[in-house]
Amino acid sequence: MRIEVDRDRCSGAGQCALTAPELFDQSDDDGTVVVLDEQPLPALREKARRAAALCPNSVIRLV
Amino acid sequence: MSMSSSASLSPVSLPMQRSSPLDPPAGYRCLREEEPVSRLAFPDGKVGWLLTRHQDVRALLADDRFSADRRRVSSPVRRFPIRPDAPAVRAGSLIGMDPPEHTRYRRMLTRYFTVRRMRELAPRIEQVVSEHLDAMERSGPPADLVPAFARPIPSLVICELLGVPYRDKATFQRCTSVLLSLDASEDEMAAARDELWQYMLDLVAAKRQHPDGALLGSLIQIDAADAGLSDERLAGIGQLLLAAGHETTANMLALGTYALLSHPDQLCALRQQVDLVDSAVEELLRYLTIVQFGTVRVAREDVEFAGRCIRAGETVVASLTAADRDPVQFPEPDELDLARPAAQHVAFGHGIHQCLGQQLARVEMKVAFSALFRRFPRLRLAVRPDEVPMRNDMFIYGVHRLPVAW
């Protein structure tokens, strides 16, 4: 699994950073998503899926 | 896809009659089951649409064929327009903006409300909560939880975050309360809006003289370099964040306490299992969904949506309350179950306008509920449940008063 994000469409709601803080943070400049780990270990994949499903702008893609 | 003719549907009016204080009006359930995309008659005489399914509400709020421009929408509950030309309605009020203007404002503000920054605020929130519990303990029981706890805590926190003097709370609390009331006349609304607007303009002028490190002062300093923020825009931002920051969380705290006291088994579980608080807060947000008349969008063009044809210029009401009781998304939706996975709720909205302050609200609720029931393990209503006056007359649902004892 690899995490891809489209920061242009991110509105910084923070759902990802709340749900999977191991994988996502928010930029200090504009609050948009920062991926901390693009290739999550198996133990974190479920969290990555949950973060993607909660994103209000469908910014996170898991490929 | 074939589309039904909208003419075949007769318009309904927004369900507003609750038969029980913790459940949405029963009319929503009927609509969701029988006519989930229904024609809606607005008080201004226009006809638009009402959405009651979770999937449709989410789809609408993420669909850029619909605009959030408040000058063009009809209100589902008010007869008169929100004075479309008033500067106070437009400047800086990002909830009524579309991209790219919205994106610019949102990006500028989001960094003040990130998950990380809100977590850093937790110790200060704990201190504020603890001081208010001390005061309750000194003067009670009984106490009215609304003025003693639910209202001052988020008010004080948002004031500190924005740099608004808390001593001015009487002014802004009174004004926002009029603006969010269904019973206020057009004149009363205009007076409250003008007073709040002048208050914010004066505050912005004072911050320009003596900028501080809080949000408004910080925006002024950042902006000195590239000069895009007029006093009106700063006042509009301040006004929106101030109102949103204290009204919503205040009502979640008081109504949430009422809900927990009405479900003793759930409250007991929360007391015994401290780490249940994260999912408890999501479930309370879902179960109570206090933005009770939903959120509105207007079609920019003729749009095919959920099998219907929505015409350009028609207003669509997304019922957040109905969506959060949709059994397709939440099995047994009318049960309060603090352990359920409820995070897909739309209590904070969805799409680009999803609540900017949601991470602040979460931290405030986690800290406040935990501390309240830890301090007063025997907290109870001091009146009968049916004697608690509910906010059926306000945009944000909740309780007007919550007499408690311990």
What tens digit of pLDDT does each residue of B129-155 get?
Answer: 999 999 999 998 999 999 999 999 999
Name the percent of chain A lying above pLDDT 90: 100
Nearest to B358 among A13, A29, A32 (CB): A13
Q: Average of pLDDT values for B64-73?
A: 90
pLDDT at position B259 is: 98
CATH number reported for the structural domain that contains residue A45 in this entry? 3.30.70.20
pLDDT at position B90 is: 67
The complex's ipTM works out to 0.96
Nearest to A11 among B115, B116, B352 (CB): B352
Is residue B100 less than 8 Å (CB to CB) from chain A? no
User: Under DSSP, is residue B51 helix (H, G, I), strand (E, B) or coil?
Assistant: strand
Q: Supply the DSSP string of B196-254, one letter for each residue.
A: HHHHHHHHHHHHHHS--SSHHHHHHHHHHHH----HHHHHHHHHHHHHHHHHHHHHHHH
The verdict on residue A22 lying in a domain is: yes
pLDDT at position B79 is: 74
The verdict on residue A15 lying in a domain is: yes
CA distance B396 to B241: 15
Is residue B277 less than 8 Å (CB to CB) from chain A? no
Position B86 confidence tier, pLDDT thresholds 50, 70, 90? low
**Candidate from B39-48, B52-61, B91-100, B380-389 with smallest mean pLDDT:** B91-100
- Cβ atoms of B309 and B6 within 8 Å: the answer is yes
pLDDT at position B394 is: 95
With a cut of 70, say whether residue A10 has pLDDT above it. Answer: yes
Residue A42 CB contacts under 8 Å (≥ 6 apart), including other chains: none
Q: Average of pLDDT values for B157-181?
A: 94
Chain centroid offset of residue B227 CA: 31
Q: Which residues pair with B304 in a beta bridge?
A: B309
Residue of B nearest to A24 (CA): B115
With a cut of 80, say whether residue B225 has pLDDT above it. Answer: no
Contacts of A25 in chain B (CB under 8 A): 115-116
Question: Nearest C-alpha of chain A: how many angstroms from B341?
Answer: 11
Q: Which residues pair with B4 in a beta bridge?
A: B308
- Cβ atoms of A12 and A31 within 8 Å: the answer is yes
Higher-pLDDT residue of B81 and B301 is B301
CA distance B160 to B150: 17
State chain B's mean pLDDT as an integer. 93
Nearest to B352 among A25, A53, A57 (CB): A57
Cα radius of gyration (chain A)? 10
CA angle B341, B27, B247 (to 5 degrees): 60
Environment class of residue B304 by beta-carbon count within 10 Å: exposed (0-12), middle (13-18) or buried (19+)? Answer: exposed
pLDDT at position B91 is: 77
pLDDT at position B1 is: 41
With a cut of 50, say whether residue B5 has pLDDT above it. Answer: no
Q: How many domains does chain A have?
A: 1
CA distance B282 to B340: 9
Q: Please give the class, per CATH, of domain B6-405.
A: mainly alpha
Per-residue model confidence as pLDDT tens digits over B190-205: 899 899 999 999 999 9
Secondary-structure percent of chain A, ordered helix, strand, coil, rounded to 5: 35, 20, 50
- Cβ atoms of A61 and A16 within 8 Å: the answer is no
**Amino acid of residue B397:** Y
The verdict on residue A61 lying in a domain is: no
User: Under DSSP, is residue B341 helix (H, G, I), strand (E, B) or coil?
Assistant: coil
Question: Nearest C-alpha of chain A: how many angstroms from B348?
Answer: 10
**CB–CB of A14 and B115 under 8 A?**
yes
pLDDT at position B229 is: 85
pLDDT at position B228 is: 76
pLDDT at position B357 is: 97
Please identify among residues 15-44 of chain A the ones whose CB lies closer than 8 Å to any CB of chain B: 15, 17-19, 21, 25-32
Three-state SS letters, B286-331:
HHHCCECCCEEEEECCCEEECCEEECCCCEEEECHHHHCCCCCCCC
Disruptive mutation site among A10, A26, A50 for chain B (greatest number of B CBs within 10 Å):
A26
Name the percent of chain B lying above pLDDT 90: 83
Range of the domain at A12: 3-56
pLDDT at position B73 is: 87
Position B70 confidence tier, pLDDT thresholds 50, 70, 90? confident
Q: Which residues pair with B291 in a beta bridge?
A: B396
- Which residue ranges make up each domain of chain B? 6-405
pLDDT at position B2 is: 43
**CB–CB of A12 and B107 under 8 A?**
yes
Is residue B111 less than 8 Å (CB to CB) from chain A? yes
pLDDT at position B71 is: 80
Position B84 confidence tier, pLDDT thresholds 50, 70, 90? low
